[in-house]
């Protein structure tokens, strides 16, 4: 019986390793509060009917048309610490009903929200895989404070619905 238990445990570990890349710095590729993902909707976007929810391992956003269409109107983020002076590849799937831009950033998670690296991605209608590179640097004063977070800013999409899933973050070696 012990041999069968070990075989089962090894098989389960192997299956999990195939499902989640060993190089993925995110321990869970699902968007959920259990895996540490949070959402934020700015008041102008919220008042205009905007929303951002975590459901079925995906982030589901409604980005309304507002007077001031700014990226931070809708934010999806997770605190994670990575090293400065390295580059990281962010890969994810997005399904949008309109073309637009989303920005991926790595920032200080508290005021003054120092920017350690950002990339803007042109999103097309339909479901597609996207990737970008974040060259993570210290701020202009040489600081690299904690806590830091990986962020998806979805607020520049105007009057659009977008679903984001299957995220990974890997160091580029």
Q: Where are the domains of the chain?
A: 23-172
Report pLDDT digits (tens) over 121-143: 999 999 999 999 999 999 989 99
Read off the pTM: 0.85
Choosing among 3.90.1310.10, 2.60.120.260, 3.30.470.20, 3.10.450.50, the CATH entry for 23-172 is 2.60.120.260
Residue 94 pLDDT level (bands cut at 50, 70, 90): very high
Confidence band (pLDDT; 50, 70, 90) for 28?
A: confident
Label residues 39-66 b or e (16+ Cβ within 10 Å = b): bbbbebbbebebebebeeebbbbbbbeb
């Amino acid at each position: 019986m012990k041999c069968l238990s070990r075989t089962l445990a090894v098989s389960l570990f192997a299956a999990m390793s195939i499902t989640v890349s060993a190089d993925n710095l995110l321990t869970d590729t699902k968007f959920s509060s259990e895996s540490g993902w949070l959402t934020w909707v700015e008041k102008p976007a919220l008042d205009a009917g905007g929303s951002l929810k975590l459901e079925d391992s995906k982030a589901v956003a409604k980005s309304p048309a507002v007077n001031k269409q700014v990226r931070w109107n809708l934010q999806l983020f997770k605190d994670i610490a990575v090293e400065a002076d390295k580059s990281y590849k962010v890969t994810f799937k997005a399904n949008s009903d309109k073309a637009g831009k989303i920005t991926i950033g790595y920032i200080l998670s508290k005021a003054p929200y120092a920017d350690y690296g950002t990339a803007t991605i042109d999103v097309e209608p339909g479901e597609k895989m996207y990737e970008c590179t974040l060259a993570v640097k210290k701020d202009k004063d040489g600081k690299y404070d904690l806590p830091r977070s990986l962020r998806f800013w979805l607020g520049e999409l105007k009057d659009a619905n977008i679903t984001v899933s299957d995220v990974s973050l890997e160091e580029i070696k």
